[in-house]
Structure 1
Amino acid sequence: MTIFTAQEVRKTFTNGEIAEEILKGIDLSLHEGEITALVGASGSGKSTLLTIAAGLQPATDGQIIFDGKNLTAMNPGQIREIRASEFGFIFQSAHLVPFLTAQEQLLLMLEVSGSKLTKQQQKKEVRELLEQIGMSHRKDAYPASMSGGEKQRVAIARAIIHKPKMLFADEPTASLDSKRSKEIMELIQNLTKTLGITTLLVTHDEDMLSYADHIVTMKDGLVE
């Protein structure tokens, strides 16, 4: 089932009198429970498209339809609510809160997302997810004591603990070695399928493409 559609999406950045069109009319559909990888050279517009799809910046023109809702017609407050409750984000760096333990990172995300679970239920969800990603033994660890792979595992858990409908991953393995990259992509693939999440992945790493259900190549602001 199609859960996300970009329709004729354009993005222009203006620097003084110079206008540069980064996205030149993108059409893209994403399906529930699938991973779509965006690939292309630097400057092709991949990350710009991802941030517009995720409601992190507005399009200059076109529409973003998510789960039957037109994000481009929403005000900033409505978009923030969608991002908090129905989207998850993974970036190249884990961006963990330095003074929170692994389990506290996840509990904070549940609070931010407006979870209706009781505190006891939230703690149970966190314990189960940390166990699922192989981090239950590190539940009380702070980011400073974690390896790069451990930090990224916690970042992934934080991104999906509130059971979002969509996951946006921008170069999630770029800072990891090949072994850790494989482990992280296997985890993203498993969680996508298990939870029925729709994942939009930006990557330069061709080895990661085997985990995608669809590969979309971008060049000069267009989908090839």
Structure 2
Amino acid sequence: MSLFTMNKVRKTFTNGDMKEEILKGVNLSLREGEITALVGASGSGKSTLLTIAAGLQSASDGQVLFQENNLSTMNQEQIREIRSKKFGFIFQFAHLVPFLTVEEQLMLMLDVSETKLKKDEQKREVEIILQLVGMDHRKQAYPSSLSGGEKQRVAIARAIIHKPKVLFADEPTASLDSKRSKDIMDLIRDITKTLNITTLIVTHDEEMLSYADHIIKMSDGLIMQEAGLNYELKENA
């Protein structure tokens, strides 16, 4: 079932008298419980596509539809509410708050997303999610004492603590070594399937594509190719 759709989305940036069209009428559909990977060279438009899908910037033209809501016609407050309650975000770097413990990072996210849980209920939710990502033994640790892989696990826990419908991941393994990258992708895949989340990932790492249900190759602001299996994309790229 399609949960998220983009119809003829365009994005143009203006710099003085110069206009640059980054997205040139992109159509995209994301399905529940599946991972879609966006690949392409730098400047192909994949990160711009992700940020527009996530409501972090607006499209110049076209529709962005989520659960029958048209993000393209919403005001910033309406979009912010959807982002805080329905979307989760993972980036290349964890961006953890340095003076908060692992547990406090997740408690803060529950407050921001307005889950309206009591403190003891929040603590139970945090415990469940930290067990899911294998970090329950580090809940009182501060970011400075965590490894790169552990920080990213906490970032993933923070992204899913409020039970989002869509998870956006922009180069989530780019700062990690090969082993930790695979561990993180194993975790993202398991979470996507277990929680039936719709996941959109931007990545440069072809080794990560084996985790995706769908792979979309972008070039010059257009979707050039789609594949349900990663080897099809590699052979035809």
TM-score by length of 2: 0.94
Counterpart CA distance in 2 for 1:131 and 1:8 is 41
Query: What's the CA shift for 1:117?
Result: 2.1
Query: What's the CA shift for 1:32?
Result: 0.5
Q: Match for residue 23 of structure 2? A: 23
Runs of 4+ in 1 over 2 A off after TM superposition: none
Query: What's the CA shift for 1:156?
Result: 0.2
Show the 5 A alignment for 1:155-170. Answer: 155-170=155-170
Counterpart CA distance in 1 for 2:83 and 2:180 is 28
Q: Match for residue 49 of structure 1? A: 49
The structure showing larger relative contact order (alpha-carbon pairs under 8 Å, at least 6 residues apart) is 1
SS at match of 1:168: strand
User: CA offsets, 1:48-82, max 9 Å, x none?
Assistant: 00000000000000000001100001000000000
Counterpart CA distance in 2 for 1:133 and 1:58 is 32
SS at match of 1:140: coil
Show the 5 A alignment for 1:119-130. Answer: 119-130=119-130
2:64 counterpart of 1:60:
no
Query: What's the CA shift for 1:137?
Result: 1.1
SS at match of 1:175: coil
Counterpart CA distance in 2 for 1:136 and 1:167 is 22
Query: What's the CA shift for 1:131?
Result: 1.4
2:192 counterpart of 1:192:
yes
SS at match of 1:115: coil
Note the residue ranges of structure 2 that are not aligned, 5 or more in a row: 225-237
User: CA offsets, 1:188-216, max 9 Å, x none?
Assistant: 00001000100000000000001000000
Query: What's the CA shift for 1:132?
Result: 1.7
Counterpart CA distance in 1 for 2:166 and 2:16 is 36
Query: What's the CA shift for 1:118?
Result: 2.0
User: CA offsets, 1:109-129, max 9 Å, x none?
Assistant: 001001032221110010111
Counterpart CA distance in 2 for 1:195 and 1:138 is 23
Q: Match for residue 201 of structure 1? A: 201
Query: What's the CA shift for 1:108?
Result: 0.5
Query: What's the CA shift for 1:165?
Result: 0.2
Equivalent AA in structure 2 for residue 112 of structure 1: V
Across the aligned residues of Structure 1 and Structure 2, the Cα RMSD in angstroms comes to: 0.5
Q: Match for residue 148 of structure 1? A: 148
SS at match of 1:106: helix
Identity over aligned pairs, percent: 73
Show the 5 A alignment for 1:61-100. Answer: 61-100=61-100
Show the 5 A alignment for 1:100-119. Answer: 100-119=100-119
Counterpart CA distance in 1 for 2:161 and 2:173 is 20
Counterpart CA distance in 1 for 2:111 and 2:75 is 22
Show the 5 A alignment for 1:172-187. Answer: 172-187=172-187
